[in-house]
Amino acid sequence: AQSVTQPDIHITVSEGASLELRCNYSYGATPYLFWYVQSPGQGLQLLLKYFSGDTLVQGIKGFEAEFKRSQSSFNLRKPSVHWSDAAEYFCAADSTDSWGKLQFGAGTQVVVTP
């Protein structure tokens, strides 16, 4: 069955430190991959997406993600976090034959400490 896994439910990071959020997928073929951010009480904002081509994807707010086919992973990174990065982050995938229907991971809650 197709699935998206985010192994870390909760991550605490100091302001200015680097951040990496893990995402693994299980699909028959490489799906389209996305990272969304959700601030409390808000909707989802797309940070970045991978469809094909360059495996290192740049997104908004200083985020980037690297697609690794051999590891079925699409990890999100930011070199230096800001307090405003505290939010919940969702990895999502969409197979090429699912009509744009997204499958989400359970999310990673990021807390930023001073």
Partner 1 sequence: NAGVMQNPRHLVRRRGQEARLRCSPMKGHSHVYWYRQLPEEGLKFMVYLQKENIIDESGMPKERFSAEFPKEGPSILRIQQVVRGDSAAYFCASSPTESGNTEAFFGQGTRLTVV
Q: Contact positions toward partner 1, by CB under 8 A? A: 31-32, 36, 41-46, 49, 51, 90, 92, 94-107
- Residue with Cβ nearer partner 1 (3 or 80): 3
Return all residues near 17 (Cβ < 8 A) that are at least 6 apart: 80, 81
CB count in 10 Å sphere of residue 84 = 10
- Residue 1 CB, shortest distance to partner 1, in Å, is 13
- Residue 84 CB, shortest distance to partner 1, in Å, is 18
- Cα separation of 69 and 107, whole Å? 21
8, 40, 68, 74, 83 from 24: Cα distances, Å: 11, 24, 10, 6, 26
- Residue with Cβ nearer partner 1 (11 or 104): 104
- Residue with Cβ nearer partner 1 (61 or 80): 61
- Residue 80 CB, shortest distance to partner 1, in Å, is 26
- Residue with Cβ nearer partner 1 (73 or 109): 109
- Cα separation of 2 and 27, whole Å? 5
